[in-house]
Every structure is written in C-alpha cells, then in structure tokens.
Amino acid sequence: MNRLPKSLLLLVLFVLSPAARAQDVALEVRAFMEGRDRAIKEAVRGINQNPASREKARALINDRIDFEEMGRLSLGAHFEGLTEAQRRDFVETFGGIVRAQSLSDLSVYNAVVRFDSVGVTGNKAYVLTAARVDNTTLKVEYLLHRRENLWWLYDIIIDDVGTVEGYSVSFQSFIRKRGFDQFMTSLRKKLAREKSAS
C-alpha cells in the first residue's frame, strides 16, 4: 500500500482541519440553540402548573444574552464616552428591563422553530431559523459571539428588523436630545414599571 509523503499529509491536514473545526463549531452552536429552545419551551409550559417555573423560564431566556454587547451596540459612539460606572449602571438597568419584559407574551415561546442554517466566522456566529407563530412564519436570525468559552446572544433579527437596531434608534435619539442622565432617569422609571407589572 502506498503511503502519502509526510509533507503532503501535513498539507492535507492543514487545509482540511480549519474547515473541519468550523463545522464542529457550527454543530456546537446549533446544539446550544436547539437545547436552549427545548429548555425554554419546557419551562414555559410548566408555568401554569408551577409558578416557580416562571423564574426558571426567565433565567433560561436571559442568562445567555450578552447585555453589555447589546447595550454597547445600541448606544454606539455614546457608549464609548461613558465612564465604567455609567456603563455598568446602563447595562444593569437595560438588562433588567429586557429580563422583566421577557415573559410578557408567552405565546412566542410556543412557536414551532425550524433551524435552517448556522454560520461561524472566528468567534462570531449566526443561526437562521423559521418560527411558526399564529399561522405566520417569521424569519428569525440570532447573532452570537464567543466569550469566556461560551456562546452568547447579542442580537435577534426578526424579518430583517434587528433588536439592536430598534434600541439604537430610540436610545441614541433620546441621548442626543436630552442627554445621558435624563436617558438613565427614563430607563430607571421604565424598569420600575416593568418590575411591578411582571
């Protein structure tokens, strides 16, 4: 049996291994998102029988969202001008609002989700899905990045409209007109309202 020369074998391994690694990472991302979807659905179904499931569902929905990255992208250049304390305050308040709102419409978590494709470039990934909600199919794309050896969501794009884009328009317009301090006052009031409603 003929053996490949060692130099040729090393070249083949060098050429093939990045593609193989990318495929492995794509499978890892898909498994994470599919597992997350199943766990959230199970927790949401249990809310009617066990109110304690409400907090479990809330945690499953939010605990792998990178609110700092989402907030940084939403504020754009305004984020760079903030002190560390201001950034922490904003991220905590912003994340609190999203967490409080996350169970306001449970029907979205009962959607039948089809995972269509996963793409990975370096430490970033996207997952393209189709979600069937109330006889309507929505294209839902999740953007993720890898941080501390875990995958974190930082944007959700529904029918080509991004969550970050929506926040960005609203937040940056407010800050330009009324300043960051007034913006944070408004966010804190909204968080208090959302917490009392949830």
Q: What angle do CA 153, 195, 68 make, to 5 degrees?
A: 30
**Strands of 112-121's sheet in order across:** 112-121, 124-133, 136-147, 150-158, 161-162
Listed residue (152, 145, 149) closest to 124, CA to CA: 145
- pLDDT confidence of residue 12: 45
Q: Which residue has 């029918």 as its token pair?
A: 159
Write out pLDDT tens, residues 172-196: 999 999 999 999 999 999 999 998 8
Confidence (pLDDT) at 19 = 56
> Both tokens of residue 195?
């917490």
pLDDT on residue 51: 79
pLDDT of 106 reads 85
Three-class SS state of 97:
helix
Residue-level pLDDT at 134 = 83
Helical packing angle, 180-197 and 163-178, nearest 10°: 130
Q: What are the residue ranges in the chain where pLDDT is below 70?
A: 1-22
Tokens of 26: 């794509």
Give the per-residue pLDDT at 13. 46
Torsion of CA 20, 25, 29, 31, to 10 degrees: 60
Produce one character per residue of 111-121: b if its CB has 16 or more CB atoms within 10 Å, e if not. Answer: bebeeeebebe
pLDDT tens readout for residues 107-129 = 889 899 999 999 999 999 999 99
Q: Phi-psi region for residue 179, left (φ > 0), alpha (ψ -120 to 50) or beta? A: left
- The amino acid occupying position 127 is V
> What is the pLDDT at residue 9?
43
pLDDT of residue 50: 86
